[in-house]
């Protein structure tokens, strides 16, 4: 288990806003080098219209965290995404969008599979999870909560990112309504 608090996350600019990398695997790979098996990030889209960077050889899952986005993949499909809606698409498609949003991104090389899901806990509830995938991430969105891992408690703050490996078990306990995005990735079957 590893916690990347919001204060230690690295944010950079792109042509339409900002992007914050939460995880890249392997850890010595880079987005610029396109040598990663998967990359997880959040981004803001601050212009009304935007064009996505071409990423041939990668699959993408885009989830809206805040706002409304109309995403168009030329010669494929157009989809309207509300908060917590997602779209899965080929990174090599010619893609554009209309709308100012904050989003959550999962990029995967060929052979890697993954999914993102919005999770919700009511106040005074808890959930225990045993990781069955190669990688499990939690991007905490809001609400007071405690993460219990190996009999130790950690406070979860908005925009903290926590990652777990296969076989690890953890519990999230809330004081008030809590939201997060879970991301699950399987990559061990990939030849790398």
**Euclidean distance between CA atoms 112 and 109, whole angstroms:** 6
Q: Phi and psi at residue 57, in whole multiples of 5°?
A: 90, 0
DSSP of 108-151, one letter per residue?
A: EETT-EEEEEEEEE-TT-EEEEE--SSEEEEEEEES-EEEEETT
pLDDT of residue 6: 94
- Given this model, what pLDDT does residue 192 score? 41
Q: How many Cβ atoms sit within 10 Å of the Cβ of residue 55?
A: 18
Are 103 and 63 in contact, with CB atoms under 8 Å apart? yes
User: What span, in angstroms and rounded, lies between the C-alpha atoms of 159 and 154?
Assistant: 14
Residue with tokens 């204060």: 7
Q: pTM of the predicted model, to two decimals? A: 0.94
Give the chain's length: 192
Helix, strand, or coil (residue 8)? helix
- With CA atoms as reference, report the closest residue to 84 among 72, 99, 101, 71: 101
- Provide CB contacts within 8 A for 27, sequence distance 6+: none
Bridge-partner residues for 171, per DSSP?
Answer: 128, 148
Per-position pLDDT tens, the chain of length 192? 999 999 999 999 987 889 999 999 999 999 999 999 999 999 999 999 999 989 999 999 999 999 999 999 999 999 999 999 999 999 999 999 999 999 999 999 999 999 999 999 999 999 999 999 999 999 999 988 999 999 999 999 999 999 999 999 999 999 899 999 999 999 976 544
pLDDT at 189: 63
């Amino acid at each position: 288990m590893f916690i990347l608090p919001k204060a230690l996350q690295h944010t950079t600019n792109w042509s339409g806003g900002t992007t914050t990398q939460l995880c890249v695997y392997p850890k010595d790979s880079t987005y610029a080098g396109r040598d990663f098996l998967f990359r997880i990030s959040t981004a803001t889209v601050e212009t009304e219209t935007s064009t996505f960077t071409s990423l041939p050889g990668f699959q993408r899952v885009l989830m809206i965290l805040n706002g409304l986005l109309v995403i168009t993949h030329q010669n494929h499909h157009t989809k309207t995404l509300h908060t917590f809606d997602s779209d899965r698409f080929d990174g090599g498609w010619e893609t554009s969008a209309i709308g100012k949003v904050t989003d959550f991104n999962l990029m995967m090389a060929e052979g890697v599979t993954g999914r993102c899901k919005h999770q919700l806990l009511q106040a005074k509830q808890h959930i225990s999870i045993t990781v069955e995938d190669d990688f499990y991430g939690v991007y905490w969105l809001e609400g007071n909560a405690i993460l219990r891992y190996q009999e130790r408690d950690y406070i979860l703050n908005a925009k903290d990112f926590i990652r777990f490996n296969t076989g690890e078990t953890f519990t999230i306990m809330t004081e008030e309504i809590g939201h997060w995005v879970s991301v699950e990735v399987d990559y061990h079957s990939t030849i790398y």
